[in-house]
Amino acid sequence: MDIEEGLVIDDFVLGPRLYAGAMARVHEVNWVEGKAPAGVARFPMVMKIPRMTRNDGAENLVGYEVEMQIMPALQGRHVPRFVAAGDLSQLPYLVMERIEGQTLEHLMEAVDGPMPFADAARLGAALAKAVHSLHMQNVCHMDLKPANVLMQTDGRAVLLDFGLSCHAHMPDLLAEELRKAVGSPAWMAPEQVVGVRGDARSDVFAVGVILYEMVTGKLPFGAPQTAGGLRQRLWMDPRLPRQLRPDVPDWLQEVVLRCLEPEAADRYASAAQLAFDLTHPDQVKVTERGKREVGTGFWVHFRRWIRAAGREYTPSPLPKQLTENVPIVMVGVPHQDVSDEALDNLRDAVARSLGLRPGARLSCVT
């Protein structure tokens, strides 16, 4: 079938083509006159049609099936609204809300190099908030990169392209049908390289790669195209941001490198924690990681390489469960008629409580 402007597909009429890529083409689309369901809000729409020629890979079709499965389940201001899906046996397509705005990729290209630290932190925090919203719906994106993030004028980030995503309560079609590492090489987390999907901290790693590029103007691991090149991130640390840009503040290097830890357990446990640190730099706990001036040595990398050989990753908790396991300890602080002894006792009790809850946040109220 020739996909041209003016073609009527089910209840929709195609408008101009907006994008054509290796996996799909995207057209502006409108309802056929009189076909819009009663009571449905009117908003601009696009139709995404997967490429399915003889030379296209199976992942195009599987990716379409994944999006068709996941998008109707997504809600909120950080994803496009789902409208309709086509019959796979005839012409597969997805109709969704058209979101205006610039991709993060375009914003980064416009700077043509490192961004001001404040801009990188602001954009990174907006992205982390969007990712957290996704994780709270038990979905991992698994293909976060600047081209898949639309920035809105109100500062909000909207996530696009869920063809490689997975939902904790739905079959993972990519894992079942392709059985290989799937993703964009530059942003893929170490556990994805060995075929582990569904860990929310893999998305945190991808946000870290984006942050690193915004701060330094370089990708932390390049864009490897071979299995051997991809596997290096299982044991290799990238060059320190400070080595590429000497004025990177300690707190920002701490945040970026924590996202890029090879072991998922050493990263932020939730994207919400990451967003908090990016918006509250004065509260970031700076460790040796943030103060480091010299990169990781050969023998550390060598020991990691030995451990990485044949490594098997333990499946992580559900994304929502992983997020909820990082509690906030709220403490009521008296401000009148209180003795020093009472305040000391309160501090001791809070310290014990935080010691029992690794990664917990402290919130004080009066």
Cite the active site residues: 143
The distance from CA 315 to its chain's CA centroid, rounded to whole angstroms, is: 18
How far is the C-alpha of 239 from the C-alpha of 259, rounded, in Å? 14
38's tokens: 């009663």
CA-closest candidate to residue 134, choices 102, 95, 103, 168: 168
Residue 29 CB neighbour total at 10 angstroms: 26
How far is the C-alpha of 187 from the C-alpha of 203, rounded, in Å? 9
Show the CA angle centred on residue 206, arms to residues 205 and 211, nearest 5°.
95
Phi, then psi, of 239 in degrees rounded to 5: -60, 145
Q: Are 58 and 178 in contact (CB under 8 A)?
A: yes
Residues sharing a CB contact under 8 Å with residue 256, sequence separation 6 or more, in sequence order: 208, 211, 212, 215, 241
Q: Where are the alpha helices (DSSP H) in the chain?
A: 58-70, 104-111, 117-135, 173-177, 190-193, 200-216, 227-231, 241-244, 250-259, 271-279, 288-291, 298-308, 319-324, 340-355
Q: Are 40 and 25 in contact (CB under 8 A)?
A: no
Instruction: Name the β-bridge partners of 28.
Output: 46
* Integer-rounded Cα radius of gyration of the chain: 23
Residues sharing a CB contact under 8 Å with residue 187, sequence separation 6 or more, in sequence order: 143, 144, 145, 205, 206, 209, 210
DSSP state of 186: G
Residues sharing a CB contact under 8 Å with residue 251, sequence separation 6 or more, in sequence order: 277, 281, 282, 284, 286, 290
